[in-house]
């Protein structure tokens, strides 16, 4: 199964920052001022299991000190659309 392009973007940005997933979670939490993101959640974002909210994307952009907000938002929107289409196709398969 191929990883979603948005998930790959998040992984690429984290690796370019030379961070582990645990370090990335800590940086996101520091940017937000709340300890709500775990290493497991970062892993789920990077494997396409979850798509972060726009609010969390803003904190990811702050944590990376990069102007990636616009690109992340457009990629997240596309990832959400792909997930909806996949879920719709799976639901149709169940009814046939």
pLDDT tens per residue, range 73-82 = 677 777 888 8
Please determine, for residue 13, whether its predicted confidence score (pLDDT) is greater than 80. yes
Domain count, the chain: 1
Q: Which domain holds residue 90?
A: 5-95
Confidence of residue 57 (pLDDT cuts 50, 70, 90): confident
Q: How far apart are CA 34 and CA 81, in angstroms?
A: 28
Instruction: Say if CB 6 and CB 44 are below 8 A apart.
Output: no
Please determine, for residue 62, whether its predicted confidence score (pLDDT) is greater than 80. yes
CA-closest candidate to residue 47, choices 6, 90, 88: 6
Confidence of residue 72 (pLDDT cuts 50, 70, 90): low
For residue 36, the domain's CATH number is 1.10.260
pLDDT digits (tens, 9 = 90+) for 14-47: 999 999 999 999 999 999 999 999 999 999 999 9
3-class state of residue 2 by DSSP? coil
3-class state of residue 24 by DSSP? helix
Tokens of 57: 């994307």
């Amino acid at each position: 199964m191929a990883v979603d392009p948005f998930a790959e973007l998040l992984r690429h940005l984290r690796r370019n920052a030379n961070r582990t997933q645990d370090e990335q979670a800590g940086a996101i939490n520091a940017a937000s001022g709340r300890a709500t993101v775990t290493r497991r959640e970062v892993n789920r974002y990077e494997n396409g299991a979850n798509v972060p909210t726009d609010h969390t994307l803003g904190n990811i952009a702050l944590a990376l000190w990069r102007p990636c907000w616009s690109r992340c938002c457009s990629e997240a929107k596309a990832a959400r659309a792909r997930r909806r289409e996949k879920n719709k196709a799976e639901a149709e398969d169940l009814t046939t």
